[in-house]
Amino acid sequence: MGSAVLGMDAVRKLSSINSRRQQISAASDLSLRRRLPRVLVVDDNPNTMSLMRDLLATRGYDVVAVPDAAQAEAEILRHPPDVVLSDVVMPGKSGYELCREMKENPATRLVPFILITGLSEREDRVRGIEAGADDFLNKPIFPEELFARVKSLIKLKEFTDELETAESVLCTLGLSVESRDPYTEGHCERLAENATNLGRHLLLEEEEIIALRRGGYLHDLGKIAVPDDILKKGADLTSEEWLVMKRHPITGETICRPLKSLRLVLPIIRNHHEHFNGSGYPDALSGQQIPLLARILQVVDVYDALRTARPYKPALNHEQAAITMREEARKGLWDDELVVEFFAMLERQRQVA
Ligand SMILES: [Fe+2]
């Protein structure tokens, strides 16, 4: 009997192995399977709407179809989709407006948005790009093109979701470092808020504002490697203890470096203890050599530290903190211009309130 021909026993054994394999594969499929990707279709034409809904349903997507932007917004609030497919011209808000609003909202800006446009309407595309659309689909709709667009953008959404998760883990770690010192409660959140406000006051780009917010949570992440007795001592550290403490900017930068999305946050983490006159650490940078975002976070950080009581010092009121910071800026510790801008911003906030 040739080796290609199997006896009954061997066939039985093989089919039992195959069936076992299928069970294992089904079980691991189940355990690995995520929820169905959710697609939101927005189109006032009932025929197009039901065509897209039915086509996408055949590929296993969880599809919700609505006829206008108002209902789309309600649906997005109720259950955020993984991708939006929207017509341009609809009663009420247009597809452009819906897209622009989603892209301006931090909660929905990462949801991919596909605009459905006419074949030859180049102007539609230019307006769509300006509104922040991620991709376009031509009318008439070809199923294979629809599937390809939706599939690739859902993959992209999966990657950005994973990235967001990694970032939020790091920010949570930053908060856990803060919680080790009971005197710094709420410090990260105040820093994130004041730093983004100062960034907006200085008319920085949106990606820089986002970096400042993350910097508020991540700037002291490296303190995770500083032992409790040094961290809680605060003042009167020995020279050896200072050496350990002064490593935290580089430790924090090393932890965050693998995440490309934190590229703009790294200089904040590394250089938030530099001094304008070059007497700070870890790189002894001076003046404009210190990255702007690091100088911004530093000004906000110093103000918050002065306004907070510690075991070794009382909290200053706003006026006392302002006098101290201006004095320290004159002595060369902080960026004088940024200190002036920061207090101008706080003053404006106080007037508005
Ligand atoms: Fe620090």
pLDDT of residue 312: 75
- For residues 217 and 262, membership in a common domain is answered with yes
Distance of CA 32 to the CA centre of its chain: 25
Residue 285 sits in which domain range?
180-352
By the 8 A CB rule, do 188 and 175 touch? yes
Is residue 59, in this structure, part of any structural domain at all? yes
Tell me, yes or no, whether 204 and 336 share the same domain: yes
Q: Identify the H or E element spanning 58.
A: helix 46-58
Do the domain assignments include residue 270?
A: yes
Residues 107 and 227 in one domain: no
Q: Is residue 30 part of a domain?
A: no
- The answer to whether residues 116 and 88 touch, using CB atoms and an 8 Å cutoff, is yes
| Residues β-bridged to residue 87 | 116
Residue 334 has phi, psi (to 5 degrees) of -115, 165
Shared-domain flag, residues 248 and 144: no
**Same domain assignment for residues 228 and 274:** yes
The answer as to whether 49 is a domain residue is yes
**Predicted pLDDT at 106:** 77
- 300 falls within a domain: yes
Mode of pairing for the β-strands spanning 62-66 and 38-42: parallel
Same domain assignment for residues 137 and 254? no
- Residue 241 confidence (pLDDT): 94
Cα(161) to ligand 1 centroid in Å equals: 29
Give residue 347's identity as a one-letter amino acid code: E
b/e map 186-219, b = 16+ CB within 10 Å: ebbebbbebbbbbbebbebeeebbbbbbbbbbbb
Q: What is the pLDDT of residue 22?
A: 44
Number of domains observed in the structure of the chain: 2
Same domain for 110 and 217? no
Whether residue 334 sits in one domain with residue 251: yes
Same domain, 185 and 317: yes
CATH number at 279 reads: 1.10.3210.10
Each residue's pLDDT tens digit in the chain (353 positions)? 333 333 334 434 434 434 444 443 443 443 334 578 999 999 999 998 999 999 999 999 999 999 999 999 999 999 989 999 999 989 999 999 999 999 988 788 889 999 998 756 677 778 888 899 998 888 888 898 899 889 888 888 887 787 777 777 888 888 777 777 666 678 888 999 999 999 999 999 989 999 999 999 999 999 988 888 888 777 788 999 999 999 999 999 999 898 888 899 999 999 999 999 999 999 999 999 999 999 999 999 999 999 998 877 889 999 999 999 999 999 999 999 999 999 999 999 888 87
CA–CA dist 174, 222 (Å, integer): 9
Q: Facing residues of 139 across strands?
A: 118
User: ω before 282 within 30° of 0 (cis)?
Assistant: yes
Residue 26 in any domain: the answer is: no
Q: Give the dihedral sign, CA 308/312/314/319.
A: negative
Question: What does the radius of gyration of the chain's CA atoms come to, in whole angstroms?
Answer: 28
User: What CATH code is carried by the domain that includes residue 136?
Assistant: 3.40.50.2300
Q: Cα–Cα distance between 24 and 19 in angstroms, integer?
A: 9
If DSSP codes are grouped into helix, strand and coil, which group holds residue 21?
helix
| Judgement on whether residues 70 and 202 belong to the same structural domain of the protein | no
Instruction: Let me know if residue 256 belongs to a domain.
Output: yes
Separation of first and last alpha carbons in the chain: 93
pLDDT of residue 310: 80
pTM of structure: 0.62
Q: Is 293 helix (H, G, I), strand (E, B) or coil?
A: helix
Separation CA 349–CA 353 (nearest Å): 6
Write down the residue that tokens 């994130």 correspond to: 192
89: CA distance to ligand 1 center in Å? 51
Q: How many residues does the chain have?
A: 353
Domain ends where: 127, 160, 193? Answer: 160
Tokens (6 digits) for 281:
């650490």
Active site residues: 223
Q: Measure 245 CA to ligand 1 centroid, in angstroms.
A: 9
Position 113 in a domain: yes
Torsion over CA of 146, 148, 149 and 150, rounded to 10 degrees? 80
How far does residue 252's CA lie from ligand 1's centre (Å)?
Answer: 9
Structure-block tokens of residue 321 = 């903190």
pLDDT at 152: 87
**Whether 269 and 217 share a structural domain:** yes
**Residues 126, 197 share a domain:** no
Report how far ligand 1's centroid is from the alpha carbon of 248 (Å): 7
Helix locations, 180-220, DSSP H: 187-201, 206-218
Task: Give the pLDDT of residue 119.
Answer: 52
